């Protein structure tokens, strides 16, 4: 008989930020991770392509710093 060893939960080591853009054709929310450049998105539902408005890279850095790159979000005693 084998015993099942409980696993220790793993905390996040890093984080990325997902933004959602509404497809102009079908309105599906198309996810983009850290969209800091003006590029063209492709809707995974209807296949439409459309340009997106990028987000500010410094705003993303601010959020990462505030959350300890994800660690503070999972640990109430982080600091």
Distance of CA 18 to the CA centre of its chain: 3
Q: Which of the ranges 6-14, 37-45, 49-57, 58-66 carries the binding residues for Zn ion, by CB under 5 A?
A: 37-45
CB of 40 to Zn ion, least distance (A): 13
Can you read off the two tokens belonging to residue 28?
């599906």
Question: Of 12-20, 25-33, 52-60, 61-69, which segment contacts Zn ion by CB under 5 A?
Answer: 25-33
Sort residue 64 into left (φ over 0), alpha (ψ -120 to 50) or beta: alpha
Nearer to Zn ion, 39 or 45 (CB): 45
């Amino acid at each position: 008989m084998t015993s099942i060893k409980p696993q220790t939960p793993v905390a996040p080591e890093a984080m990325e930020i997902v933004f959602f853009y509404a497809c102009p054709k079908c309105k599906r929310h198309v996810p983009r991770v850290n969209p800091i450049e003006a590029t063209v998105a492709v809707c995974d539902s209807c296949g439409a392509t459309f340009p997106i408005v990028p987000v500010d890279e410094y705003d993303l850095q601010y959020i990462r710093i505030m959350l300890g790159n994800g660690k503070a979000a999972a640990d109430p005693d982080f600091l």
